[in-house]
């Protein structure tokens, strides 16, 4: 017979059945409860901005008006305690006969992520990166396309954004979607600001997509990109340029 202490020596991550339970972090999964897990809303304080919509603490919406979670990445899988206990004994070769105990603990859930990062299959409600600039862009001279200096990283699902180069680098093949907030000042009457998204592949070939339109007034503007199919090593940047139409700043 297997000594009881060997059950205690076994790591929970080694439970056989758990290896079959992996799923993508998308709304179609996280909004459905099953017989062994739920997805729970747990504040991870990503980027030191807990539940932030635009950089301010405790302002970011987590549900839409219909009650649907907006960001699947906010959720963490939680496994039923009775399921875990049953599987521990099953892997050890025992059948657990403890109906009363299992009935008591079936309403308790244990946060459970078996890897350092969650598996995402990007959908319209999931953002790989959410950034903004806290310092308004102000310019009275013509500048060529320049990487936009986002200085506030609100959400980064894989921690892949480099705040020194303002570059996001894909770590796996898949679709990536970005939400960006920009603040510009002192550009009205000077010709406006133009934004583009630039994706660079492994051969340094760049693909540019126009972001929004021409912005000639002071203010804060938000953009949500379409999902981009990116391969490991591809990079994502936002560039802007400013063309002076008159020489005097307003």
Q: Are 234 and 170 in contact (CB under 8 A)?
A: yes
pLDDT at 2 over 50: no
Q: What share of the chain is helix, strand, coil (3-state, %, to 5)?
A: 15, 35, 50
Phi, then psi, of 74 in degrees rounded to 5: -75, -15
Q: Which of 51-55, 61-65, 75-79, 106-110 has the highest mean pLDDT?
A: 106-110
Question: What pLDDT sits at residue 125?
Answer: 46
pLDDT band at 235 (very low <50, low <70, confident <90, very high): very high
Rounded to an integer, what distance in angstroms lies between the CA atom of residue 1 and that of residue 123?
49
Residue 219 forms beta bridges with which residues? Answer: 184
pLDDT at 4 over 60: no
Kindly tell me the number of DSSP H helices and DSSP E strands found in the chain.
4, 16
Phi, then psi, of 30 in degrees rounded to 5: -75, -15
Rg (CA), the chain: 24
Question: What pLDDT sits at residue 123?
Answer: 44
At which residue do the structure tokens 């953002």 appear?
A: 127
Question: What pLDDT sits at residue 247?
Answer: 40
DSSP character string of 99-144: HHHHHHHTT-EEE--SSSS------TT--SEEEE-SSPEE-SS-EE
pLDDT at 56 over 60: no
CATH architecture type of domain 129-242: Sandwich (2.60)
pLDDT band at 62 (very low <50, low <70, confident <90, very high): low
Mean pLDDT of the chain: 74
The domain locations on the chain are 4-111, 129-242
CA atoms within 13 A on the CB side of 44: 20
232 or 139: whose pLDDT is higher?
232
pLDDT band at 156 (very low <50, low <70, confident <90, very high): confident
Q: Say what the pTM is.
A: 0.50
Alpha-carbon separation of residue 78 from 72, 83, 89, 225 (angstroms): 14, 11, 20, 31
Q: Are 180 and 155 in contact (CB under 8 A)?
A: no
Q: What is residue 196's DSSP assignment?
A: E
Nearest in space to 48 (alpha carbons), one of 168, 124, 159 = 159
pLDDT band at 234 (very low <50, low <70, confident <90, very high): very high
In the structure encoding, which two tokens stand for residue 228, read together?
A: 């981009």
């Amino acid at each position: 017979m297997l000594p009881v202490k060997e059950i205690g020596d076994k790591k929970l991550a080694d439970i056989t059945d758990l290896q079959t339970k992996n799923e993508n972090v998308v709304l179609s999964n996280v909004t459905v409860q099953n017989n062994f897990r739920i997805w729970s809303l747990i504040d991870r304080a990503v980027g030191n901005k807990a539940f932030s919509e635009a950089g301010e603490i405790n302002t970011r919406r987590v549900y839409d008006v219909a009650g649907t979670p907006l960001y699947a990445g906010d959720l963490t899988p939680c496994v039923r305690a009775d399921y875990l206990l049953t599987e521990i004994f099953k892997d050890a070769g025992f059948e657990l006969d403890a109906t009363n105990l299992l009935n008591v603990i079936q309403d308790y859930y244990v946060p459970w992520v078996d890897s350092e990062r969650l598996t995402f299959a990007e959908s319209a409600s999931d953002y790989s990166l959410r950034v903004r600039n806290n310092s308004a862009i102000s310019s009275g001279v013509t500048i060529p396309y320049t990487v936009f200096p986002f200085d506030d990283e609100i959400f980064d699902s894989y921690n892949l954004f480099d705040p020194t180069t303002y570059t996001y680098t894909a770590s796996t093949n898949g679709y990536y979607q970005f939400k960006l907030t920009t603040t510009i000042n002192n550009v009205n009457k000077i010709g406006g600001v133009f934004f583009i998204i630039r994706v660079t592949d492994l051969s340094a070939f760049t693909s540019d997509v126009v972001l929004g339109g021409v912005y000639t007034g002071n203010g804060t503007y938000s953009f949500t990109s379409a999902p981009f199919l990116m391969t490991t090593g591809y990079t994502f940047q936002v560039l802007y340029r400013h063309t002076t139409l008159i020489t005097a700043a307003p």
